[in-house]
Amino acid sequence: MGQITDLLSVERTDPETVELTYSDIKCLDPEVFLKSPVINFYIQYLRKSRPCDDLYIFNTYFYSKLEEALSRTGECGSQFSKLRRWWRSVDIFKTPYLLLPIHGQVHWSLVIIFMPAKEIKSGPRVFHLDSLGLHSSDKVFGVIESYLIEEWRHLQKDSSYDIPFSDTIWRHLSRNIHKEKIEVPQQQNDFDCGVFMLYYIDKFIQEAPDDLTGVRPCKFGRKWFSPVEASGLRKRIRVLLIDIFQNAPPSDRNLVSHADDDSEDEEDKGKDTIVIV
């Protein structure tokens, strides 16, 4: 219960706040696609299990904003500067692991960016994990590479910036970004992509090393875990959320009403609450 209590005690002004209503739990029903509020909740839950100084997980909305900013010809610089607030508390080149959920075509996949230690003669490594292979890895790699280069250009303007890589790697960063589509366990149905994406994050957080001496931060592969094991995460998240709602203090209940939502029956409307985590 300690971790649940911590989730409920986060200030509402926290930029990482996630708002959930009781009806959001519906997406955890069998054969239903997971929605962003539930995914972002579980991302925050997982972040508390690993020190924040070596890991940063963007929420589900960031990647689409990044794509939009990079696609605006002639406006990329100004649009990108507005995006910087999303990671204002994090130096992405000094954070060993960056994780980005990707959503598109009614599907979820995951990018993991591995920033090696300065003594390693290697640049950033970008891994794409997809439980159905529906997202174009080449397209994803193009967006991520552009993101890293734009931030690199920005930091180069600061002569006092403490360069995180060897000088050779840093001077020629664009040619030292390595990209790899990772073989991972595949979902056995059409609706568990969000569950698998979260399970990739969960397993990675458990297994990623602290010493950063290798070029692969985890033992990926088709046999990394069993698909049944991943699909079981849906039920565990549901149990966790129901527990949180049932234990929410009165001050965090009934803050939002969805009475105008015709998709809910009267019983669900009566139970609809919100928790700030």
Could you give all domains of the chain from N- to C-terminal order, each with its CATH number? 5-253+272-276 (3.40.395.10)
pLDDT at 253 over 90: no
- Please tell me the least confidently modeled range out of 1-10, 183-192, 248-257: 1-10
Amino acid at the residue 209 = P
Amino acid at the residue 19 = E
Torsion region of 212: left, alpha or beta (phi above 0 gives left; psi -120 to 50 gives alpha):
left
Q: What is the mean pLDDT of residues 68-90?
A: 81
- Please tell me the least confidently modeled range out of 3-12, 25-34, 167-176, 228-237: 3-12
Give yes or no for a contact between 56 and 95, defined as CB atoms under 8 angstroms apart: yes
Catalytic residue IDs: 107, 130, 193
Encoding tokens for residue 20? 């959930």
Selected residue with higher pLDDT from 99 and 216: 99
Give 186-243 pLDDT, tens digit per residue: 999 999 999 999 999 999 999 888 766 666 778 899 999 999 999 999 999 999 998 8
pLDDT at 46 over 80: yes
| Distance separating alpha carbons of residues 69 and 83, to the nearest angstrom | 8
- Please tell me the least confidently modeled range out of 71-75, 118-122, 138-142, 146-150: 71-75
pLDDT at 13 over 80: no
Q: Which residue has the tokens 């959001």?
A: 24
What's the whole-number average pLDDT of the chain?
83
Encoding tokens for residue 256? 């939002």
Coil, strand or helix at 182: strand
pLDDT at 255 over 60: no
- pLDDT band of residue 251 (cuts 50, 70, 90) is low
Give yes or no for a contact between 58 and 39, defined as CB atoms under 8 angstroms apart: no
pTM of the entire predicted model: 0.85
pLDDT-above-90 percentage for the chain: 57
Selected residue with higher pLDDT from 112 and 248: 112
Give yes or no for a contact between 116 and 98, defined as CB atoms under 8 angstroms apart: no
- pLDDT band of residue 42 (cuts 50, 70, 90) is very high
Quick one: which H or E segment has residue 7?
Answer: helix 2-8
Residue 8 C-alpha from the chain's centroid = 20
| Distance separating alpha carbons of residues 40 and 17, to the nearest angstrom | 9
pLDDT-above-70 percentage for the chain: 79
